[in-house]
Amino acid sequence: MFTLHKHQDKVIASKKRFILVLTGVQGGKTTIGAIWLLQKIHEAYKSGKRGDWLIAAPTEKILQQSTLVKFRSFIPPDWGEWKEQKKCFELKWGDRIFVRSTENPEHLEGMTLLGAWLDEAGQMKARVWTYIQARVAVNKGPVLMTTTPYALNWLYKEVMKPGKDGDPNYDLITWASVDNPAFPPEEFERAKAELPKAIFERRYLGLFTRLEGLVYPDFDEDKHIVSPFPIPEGWQWHGGMDFGFSNPTCLLAIVQDPHSKIYYVVDEFYEREASLQKISMEIIKHPFKKVFADRQSAHLISELQRMYKCHNVTQCDNDINVGIERITRLLKEQKLKFFRGKTENLLDEIEAYHYPNPSDDKPVKDKPVAVNNHAMDALRYAFSKPLPPAVAKAPHRRQTPYARRRFVVNSRTGY
């Protein structure tokens, strides 16, 4: 028999459709997520409802090492069995519990759900929340989100704030790590003494605190995010692109108002394992004069030019400090704006893009933390200078089809 602490009891007692549980690390959020979902499934079973359910985590690693492990420890063994190929539990009365990572949000399409549990929801992309609401809409199903706070992203704006403001559909339940009776108080005090205030408040108090050391502290959603509008003829288009494979490839489409001189990021392509052919199709969709990409991806740029006739793709100066300085200036002057609903991944990244925390043990690097920075790199490249032709000359490679080439794979891009 498992005994819940008082804050976990609040989760079970909540009658709201959308419940956000914000806790410090080791606060028992994953435990209550598993128990809450099993309770909802049992309630549906007793009332005669039949259908599908979802367990989701932001990455396969979190899913396998934490979320699924915890759920397996609580699901009654006589309820059904796990189907590895389908990645779901098939329950003996006909329900299914799908288990998915949200690394590719499109994989959530096509489901009709009775309810869902999103573990570490704060690490998920905004599109996940859009898709999940659609998946539970027919059954008006409940959704539980359990997480430690991360960036001031969609979760903060679209879920936490409504819960805090008393929206009848949303419930906000928070507690600190030390509110879990199993968490050592001395560890809580050690972290409080040693960690920067903002990090401690996020990781151990479960609070959305704006990180210190943000690369773009001048970014303000009220000033820099605008509703999409038709692009007038005569406005100049250009792009920035960061190649990836296991990491996403990001292509940003940018236009400039010739009168106000304001730049607008109007669209983004953001996808893992995208082929060069698919990337070329995204480039051709827009009337780009130039698309600037990292000089370290010279062979990929050459392939796009030679095989797919994307002659507007060119290498740029990838000096990180120069790019950051120009974007910072544009934000300060309110000369750079972003289309709402069209640049979700970029907006997720810009609010979390930060420098390393100070440390007594080693010098702080003057470069941002290189995690979830693919749209940030593409944005920098878009506002960098093109390299002179002599410098931008691509390395010689055998002229064989792209799919058959054999060369050392770049560990970052996967090509």
Tell me what pLDDT residue 190 has: 93
Q: Does one domain contain both 252 and 303? A: yes
pLDDT of residue 52: 98
pLDDT of res. 247: 87
- What's residue 372's pLDDT? 82
CATH number at residue 242: 3.30.420.280
What are the angstrom distances between the C-alpha of 145 and each of 98, 178, 193, 352? 16, 20, 29, 20
Is residue 1, in this structure, part of any structural domain at all? no
One domain, residues 36 and 169:
yes
Are 175 and 321 contained in the same domain? no
Q: Are residues 170 and 311 in the same domain?
A: no
Share of the chain above pLDDT 90, in %: 69
Is there a single domain that holds both residue 281 and residue 153? no
pLDDT in tens, 64-114: 999 999 999 999 999 999 999 999 999 999 999 999 999 888 888 889 999
* 323/232 same-domain check: yes
149-153, 375-379, 398-402: range with lowest mean pLDDT:
398-402
Rounded Cα gap, residues 47 and 144, in angstroms: 20
- Residue 104 has what pLDDT? 84
212 belongs to a structural domain: no
Nearest Cα neighbor of 127 from 413, 346, 278 is: 346
Percent of the chain with pLDDT over 70: 89
Backbone angles phi, psi at 49, to 5 degrees: -75, 140
325: in domain: yes
Confidence of residue 154 (pLDDT cuts 50, 70, 90): confident
User: Is 259 a residue whose pLDDT tops 60?
Assistant: yes
Q: Which amino acid does the sequence have at 58?
A: P
The total domain count for the chain is 2
Please give the radius of gyration of the chain, using alpha carbons only, rounded to the nearest integer: 24
Q: How many CB atoms lie within 10 A of CB 180?
A: 21
- pLDDT for the residue numbered 411: 45
Q: What is the pTM of this model?
A: 0.67
pLDDT digits (tens, 9 = 90+) for 298-345: 999 999 999 999 999 999 988 888 899 999 999 999 999 999 989 988
User: What pLDDT is recorded for position 1?
Assistant: 61
Distance CA 379, CA 384 (A): 9
Residue 146 pLDDT exceeds 70:
yes
The CATH number that applies at residue 128 is 3.40.50.300
* Statement to judge: residues 377 and 304 lie in one domain: yes
Is the confidence at residue 413, as pLDDT, over 60? Answer: no
Q: Which of 87, 82, 99 is nearest to 37 (CA)?
A: 99
Structural domain boundaries, residue 36: 6-205
Mean pLDDT, the chain, integer: 88
- One-letter amino acid at 353 equals Y
| 298 and 327 both lie in a single domain | yes
Answer whether residue 400 shows pLDDT above 50: no
Residue 209 pLDDT class (50, 70, 90 cuts) = confident
Task: Indicate if 124 and 174 belong to the same structural domain.
Answer: yes
Q: Which of 16, 42, 287, 371 is nearest to 168 (CA)?
A: 16
